[in-house]
Amino acid sequence: MFKQKKKIFQLAAIGLASLAILTGCNSGDASDKDSEDGGKVRTVKVAFDQASKPISYLDDNGNPTGYDVEVMKLVDEQLPDYKFEFVGTTSDDLLIGVEQGKYQVGIKNAFFTQERTEKFIFPKEFLGLSSAGLVLRKEDEGVKTLADFAKKGYSLAPIAANNAQYTIIDEYNKANPDNKVKLQAGDAFTVDVVQWVNEKRVDGGVMIEGPFKQQVLAEDGPYHNLKDDVVYNEFSVIKTWPLFNKKEQEFADAYDKAIAKIKEQKKTNELSTKFYGRDLFEVLETVKR
């Protein structure tokens, strides 16, 4: 009886070991699955800034959406060899995660900077367009450009040195050494520009039009009560890009082919109108950056 029980336990152990081996053999890269035509479908993680409405955010049902997200969903449809998994996160985690390979690509209304090319792959095709402007108090609505702002000697809300908005102002200052904007590097990636301007802590601040509309002009915006006290004056329209991990050149090339088709079909124009309230692609020929 003892020998019979021992044999049963041995057979059970062998069976469990065999199952574990088979499971291990079948797991491989968890991001790869077979497609309908027998090829491999690679799941890639697309990180997005989930608190940047209307660029990228979570809707009322907790689903990822926004201009950047919806364009990337269209890219996903064009790439049968890839399956996109959208991961909502913070701007800082996105940058670190893409650089380290935690995410294969990140979308956050990112502007091009030379410094970023050392950490990320910028594809050939840009993702969208973004309006950058100055938030000012109503009495200063006549200040239309960075040159106007600098000429008055106005103070600007601090911008983190690793924020591309800092680079934009820095580039202006280098091109206009006799009329510089007072540029201060901040500790935080972003500051509450509307609040700083309204409280007169600074004379103005750089902001993207979409978030300004959401915060101030939207009826449910946190600063809607200030809609008659602060203004937004656009000074530039700038191309925005997805940021790819340095090892993802093949993925970036696939993105380029897909997004080119999407632009030809004017779908980016439609999404720009839907999320930003205007078709920024209408001024593409005047975009310098």
Mean pLDDT of the residues in the chain = 88
The helix (H) or strand (E) run that includes residue 232 is: strand 230-244
pTM of the model as a whole: 0.83
DSSP symbol at 281: G
Q: Is pLDDT above 80 for 155?
A: yes
pLDDT of residue 30: 37
pLDDT band at 33 (very low <50, low <70, confident <90, very high): low
Phi, psi for residue 83 in degrees, rounded to 5: -125, 125
pLDDT of residue 219: 94
pLDDT in tens, 181-192: 999 887 765 679
For residue 48, which of 255, 270, 243, 208 has the smallest C-alpha distance?
243
For residue 150, which of 176, 128, 130 has the smallest C-alpha distance?
176
Domains of the chain are 32-129+240-286 (3.40.190.10), 131-238 (3.40.190.10)
- Rounded mean pLDDT of 256-273? 98
Q: Is pLDDT above 60 for 2?
A: no
Number of CB atoms found within 10 A of residue 9's CB: 9
